[in-house]
Amino acid sequence: MKKSRVILFFFSFILIKTCLYNAGVVPAHAVVFEHGATASVALQGTYTDNTQFTGKDDYVLKVSPSIALSAVTEVTQMQVAADLDIREYKNNDDLNSVDQYYQVLGGVALEERVEINIVGTHLRDHTFQSELEETGIVIKQTSRNRTTISPIGTFWLAPRDRMQLTYRYGDTNFSSDDRRDYTNHDLRLGWLHDLQNERTTLGFLVGANRTEYGDDIDNPNQDITYDGVGAGVMLDHMFSETFIMNLKAGARYTESKTTGGGDNDTTSDTNFVGEASVRWIFERSTLSALVNQQVVPSSAGEAVARTKANLGLGYRFTEKFGCNLSGYYRRSDPLRGGQTVETFAGRAGLGYRLTQNLRLSLAYSYTKTDQESDSVVDDETNRVFLQLRWIIHEPEWRVRPPKTLVRWPHRL
């Protein structure tokens, strides 16, 4: 998507808001608003002893500018954001890249019982690192374009009961002919109930999705379609203001069809899907953990049952000096009987605030993958990072993404 489309999204939202105001749907006081900009730039140097698992070491310089323009009123919010990652390799010029991420977020409260939000994103990145973090699969670097549009409607049925309808459209395209482009549609409906203790939320979720894969150079004129339906329950509980737990569990039925290219067949699978996460905040430290089981699209040209686990720990020695530990685990099982892959990564870092707006950080990471691939020469890699980040401007308030039944795209 061109930058002009991002601008079009932003002004389209302003136009919709203006029409609602003129029609009397948005109250008059909503035109009084705050606005501001958040801007930063980071410079990072990295040494890796195994560049993209090719067995070669290298030095990487990365520059990451970021900007967000925001505006909020009592009943509306909007934001346009853009991030870039510019990478230069010392010994592998063919891996030099510019990753781009754009997001448009808007929301409006219609009267007291209806809230409408929309999130639109577009990214152009490179699949080695993004696919490794999303599914754990190692593939040769190629550029990827992904666009998502996600309208979200929340309807309050009673003070403690609400329903939420979400739809997500995604379109993913690769520059390489050996990758399958795909389009996916995801529709979900949920009922949420807040208990009288004001700490617990119960919910019931149902949903359906469809993913359509195009052909690739090895399978011309062959298309693959995945159709899925699922249902589940959820529980959010706040033990205290510093300890929060979220649970989701359900089942998903998926049917895949292959047509064209001399291959026509249909297969089906039933999978458990769920998620458990906790966040515990202490005076000087923060602990977070997440375990997730989902069926997701992949650049391998098929859906995979992905198991994901994240763990993070942060500790602040002083107001200016702190450290963090984090790790993730990915396991991907292709639904059509391909190879199971596993990837583990761990990271340890130190951070120091030089001034109010200048941050210095040093980190080390280790990654290991267990899979058979032409791209994998050595299955372990070590990296050391040194980063300097300058926060040029940051307002005291921020636009918050809507809390939804699904996890929305984030920067990779």
pLDDT digits (tens, 9 = 90+) for 210-226: 998 887 667 777 778 88
355 secondary structure, DSSP code: S
Residue 377: per-residue pLDDT: 55
Residue 412: per-residue pLDDT: 24
DSSP bridge partners of 393? 39
- Whether residue 163 lies inside any domain: the answer is yes
- Whether residue 402 lies inside any domain: the answer is no
Q: Print burial letters for 255-279: b (CB count within 10 Å at least 16), e (below 16).
A: ebebeeeeeeeeeebebebbbbbbb
Nearest residue to 30 (alpha-carbon basis) of 104, 105, 108: 108
Report the mean per-residue pLDDT for the chain: 82
> What torsion do the CA atoms of 138, 140, 141, 146 make, to the nearest 10 degrees?
-70
Instruction: Compute the 3-state secondary structure of the chain and give helix, strand, coil in percent, each to the nearest 5.
Output: 10, 65, 25
Determine the average pLDDT of the residues in 319-342.
86
Tell me the pLDDT band of 351, cut-offs 50, 70 and 90.
very high
Assign residue 33 the CATH number of its domain: 2.40.160
Q: Is residue 347 predicted with pLDDT exceeding 50?
A: yes
pTM attached to this predicted model: 0.80
Residue 259: per-residue pLDDT: 75
Nearest residue to 389 (alpha-carbon basis) of 41, 20, 25: 41
Sign of the alpha-carbon dihedral angle for 327, 408, 104, 194: negative
Nearest residue to 170 (alpha-carbon basis) of 119, 98, 96: 119
pLDDT digits (tens, 9 = 90+) for 356-383: 899 999 999 999 988 766 556 568 899 9
- Whether residue 338 lies inside any domain: the answer is yes
Q: Is residue 315 predicted with pLDDT exceeding 50?
A: yes
Q: Is residue 16 predicted with pLDDT exceeding 90?
A: no
DSSP string, 206-226: EEEEEEEE--BTTBTT-EEEE
Q: Is residue 27 predicted with pLDDT exceeding 80?
A: no
Number of structural domains (the chain) is 1
Residue 22: per-residue pLDDT: 46
Sign of the alpha-carbon dihedral angle for 281, 286, 287, 289: positive
- Whether residue 412 lies inside any domain: the answer is no
Amino acid identity of 210?
Answer: R
- Whether residue 208 lies inside any domain: the answer is yes
- Whether residue 165 lies inside any domain: the answer is yes
Specify the length of the chain in residues.
412
- Whether residue 400 lies inside any domain: the answer is no
- Whether residue 406 lies inside any domain: the answer is no
pLDDT digits (tens, 9 = 90+) for 49-105: 988 888 889 999 999 999 998 888 878 888 899 999 999 999 988 889 999 999 999
pLDDT more than 90, % of the chain: 47
Determine the average pLDDT of the residues in 346-351.
96
CB 201 within 8 A of CB 403: no
Question: Beta strands of 26-96 (E only): which ranges?
Answer: 34-48, 58-72, 76-89
SS3 label, residue 96: coil
pLDDT digits (tens, 9 = 90+) for 228-259: 899 999 999 999 989 999 999 999 898 888 77
Domain holding 110, by residue range, is 3-393
Residue 327: per-residue pLDDT: 95
- Name every residue whose Cβ is closer than 8 Å to that of residue 65 and which is 6 or more positions away in sequence: 39, 40, 41, 83, 84
Q: Is residue 188 predicted with pLDDT exceeding 50?
A: yes
pLDDT digits (tens, 9 = 90+) for 385-400: 999 999 987 766 566 6
